[in-house]
């Protein structure tokens, strides 16, 4: 699917001064593509929501006999909870996703004046094997404005500092923290010395592709004036290592990218991930920087949304990052993400009452724990029972969802592959990873998420874990 290793651009290295220039005023210019009918985003939202509710209503009508039969075994209330959790609500979300993606049209970049200065924060903990490649990918960026890179060595116990000491770029600053304090604390130390109006975060094992910085900042400059953050596109770098990374390649390429694209269409990307995102520096300081928690990036993003700002997404600002290489690491990662979701609701639950389009995604996230529990406790056992001819929850009719799943995945593939070609990338063949991703991913993912929700509700110990 994605290249074996990111393809470095041939741009010459630019030595960019660190001095803080006067940032240009952000200008939003609306441009309508020639020959294309324009639909206001609120009309797109209304159409998408109406279609999703219609699909959910139709699905419920078809499911009534199923609910009735199951209700004779476990009671009508429990039957409704199970079927809504494993079928009706996921169907509503899939319909919303499909219609929204079909209506989505990425607005062209449009900006005036010089590019503003950017500060790139790289929090690194035991990144000896990858930190130099990360810094070199920044050196290859053809960013036409002032750039400051701050690498925060968060108490690494390997040779990370030795590697950093071997490079000398005028725009590079290294903060060597004696004691490991966690990613949020490291980023906040870097924020203290950020000298430019825009701050970008990048993981210590990520590799920027092409004109990622230019594209990311260009999207920010072209988005509505209330935009305070823009998430970049994160794809899997080590996808050819084993089956675990091959599966995740499709998750990042399909699922995560599609959700962020949809959320940005309706003006509220819910996670500007720490692996690669842009923020207004003043807004970061206004909300207090990164909170000390497991899911610091989601809680920060919700703080920005809660302050009334918009969060966007740039699909062609690409970084390749290393995904977990074992199922144990993968489960730990998704547990951390699930804990971050609960943390976000604890701090910013009032987003559920915000009168804006993106509120639908906050409610969407509120339903995730319920659906994950329903899938884990009922659908997975239902599949096992079906193998023995007991079709209480899963049965021959369940196979009817496969064409819909295929259509959804094809739409996501079509959209992403067009973006890839525009960036000079090609989608590599990964059929085994796709089959496992499409048919069995949830069997591993949802139980792991449930464990994460429980860990947060029980206030178990928190740590860096895996990103």
Going along the chain from its start, the domains and CATH numbers come out as 118-353 (3.90.550.10)
Of 20-29, 57-66, 223-232, 264-273, the poorest mean pLDDT is in 20-29
Indicate the average pLDDT of the chain. 88
Mean pLDDT of 331-355: 95
| Residue 98 predicted with pLDDT over 80 | yes
How do residues 133-148 score in pLDDT, each as one tens digit? 999 999 999 899 999 9
- Over 60: is that where the pLDDT of 116 sits? yes
Asked if residues 251 and 406 have their Cβ atoms less than 8 Å apart, the reply is: no
Task: For residue 387, name the pLDDT band (cuts at 50, 70, 90).
Answer: confident
Across the range 82-107, mean pLDDT stands at 93
The confidence score (pLDDT) of residue 107 equals 81
Average confidence (pLDDT) over 370-374: 96
Which of 317, 318, 283, 321 is CA-nearest to residue 300? 283
**Could you tell me the pLDDT band of residue 36, with boundaries at 50, 70 and 90?**
low
* Gap between the Cα atoms of 372 and 375, Å rounded: 5
Can you give the pLDDT at residue 467? 57
pLDDT, mean of residues 392-396: 80
Is it the case that residue 4 has pLDDT exceeding 50? no
Whether 351 has a pLDDT exceeding 90, the answer reads yes
- Distance CA(221)–CA(219), nearest Å, equals 5
Joined together, the tokens standing for residue 63 give: 């499911």
User: Looking at the whole model, is its pTM more than 0.85?
Assistant: yes
Q: What is the pLDDT of residue 341?
A: 96
Distance separating alpha carbons of residues 185 and 464, to the nearest angstrom: 11
pLDDT at 14: 28
Among 104-108, 373-377, 378-382, the least confident range: 104-108
**pLDDT tens, position by position, 411-448:** 999 999 999 998 988 888 899 999 999 888 999 999 99
**13 closest CA partner among 140, 135, 118, 117:** 140
Residue bearing the bigger pLDDT, 12 or 260: 260
Tens digit of each residue's pLDDT (9 = 90 or more) over 193-239? 999 999 999 999 999 999 999 999 999 999 999 999 999 999 999 99
pLDDT of residue 5: 30
Q: What is the rounded average pLDDT of the residues 233-252?
A: 94
Confidence of residue 17 (pLDDT cuts 50, 70, 90): very low
How far apart are the C-alpha atoms of 326 and 243, rounded to whole Å?
9
Q: Binning pLDDT at 50, 70 and 90, where does residue 7 land? A: very low
Rounded mean pLDDT, 41-69 = 94
Q: Which residues contact 398 (CB under 8 A, 6 or more apart)?
A: 386
pLDDT at position 16 over 70: no
* Cα-based torsion angle of the residue sequence 7, 9, 15, 17 in order, rounded to the nearest 10 degrees: -80
């Amino acid at each position: 699917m994605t290249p074996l290793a990111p393809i470095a651009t041939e741009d010459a290295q630019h030595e960019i001064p660190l001095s803080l220039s006067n940032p240009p005023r952000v200008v939003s210019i609306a441009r309508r593509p020639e020959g294309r009918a324009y639909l206001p985003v609120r009309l797109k939202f209304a159409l998408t929501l109406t279609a999703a509710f219609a699909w959910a209503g139709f699905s419920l009508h078809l499911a009534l006999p199923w609910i009735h039969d199951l209700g004779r075994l476990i009671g009508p209330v429990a039957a409704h909870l199970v079927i809504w959790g494993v079928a009706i609500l996921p169907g509503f979300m899939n319909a919303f996703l499909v219609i929204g993606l079909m209506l989505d049209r990425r607005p062209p970049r449009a900006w005036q004046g010089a590019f503003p200065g950017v500060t790139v924060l790289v929090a690194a903990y035991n990144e000896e094997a990858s930190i130099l490649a990360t810094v070199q990918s920044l050196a290859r960026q053809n960013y036409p404005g002032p750039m400051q890179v701050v690498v925060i060595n968060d108490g690494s116990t390997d040779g990370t500092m030795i590697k950093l000491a071997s490079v000398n770029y005028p725009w590079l600053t290294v903060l060597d923290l004696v004691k490991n304090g966690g990613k949020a604390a490291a980023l906040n130390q870097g924020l203290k010395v950020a000298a430019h109006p825009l701050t970008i975060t990048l993981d210590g094992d990520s590799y920027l592709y092409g004109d990622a910085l230019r594209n990311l900042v260009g999207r920010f400059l072209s988005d509505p004036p209330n935009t305070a953050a823009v998430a970049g596109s994160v794809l899997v770098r080590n996808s050819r290592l084993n089956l675990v990374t091959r599966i995740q390649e499709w998750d990042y390429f399909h699922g995560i990218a599609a959700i962020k694209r949809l959320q940005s269409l309706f003006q509220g990307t819910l996670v500007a991930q720490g692996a690669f995102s842009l923020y207004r520096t003043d807004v970061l300081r206004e909300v207090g920087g990164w909170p000390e928690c497991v899911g610091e990036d989601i809680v920060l993003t919700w703080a920005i949304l809660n302050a009334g700002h918009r969060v966007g997404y740039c699909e062609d600002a690409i970084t390749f990052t290393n995904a977990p290489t074992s199922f144990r690491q993968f489960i730990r990662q998704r547990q951390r993400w699930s804990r971050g979701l609960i943390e976000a609701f604890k701090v910013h639950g009032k987003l559920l009452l915000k009168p804006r389009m993106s509120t639908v995604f906050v409610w969407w996230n509120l339903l995730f724990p319920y659906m994950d529990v329903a899938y884990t406790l009922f659908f997975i056992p239902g599949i096992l029972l079906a193998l023995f001819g007991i079709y209480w929850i899963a049965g021959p009719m369940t196979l009817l969802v496969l064409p819909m799943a295929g259509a959804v995945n094809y739409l996501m593939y079509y959209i992403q592959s067009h973006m890839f070609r525009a960036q000079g990338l090609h989608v590599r063949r990964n059929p085994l990873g796709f089959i496992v991703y499409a048919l069995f991913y949830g069997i591993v993912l949802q139980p792991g998420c449930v464990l994460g929700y429980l860990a947060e509700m029980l206030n178990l110990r928190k740590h860096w874990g895996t990103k």
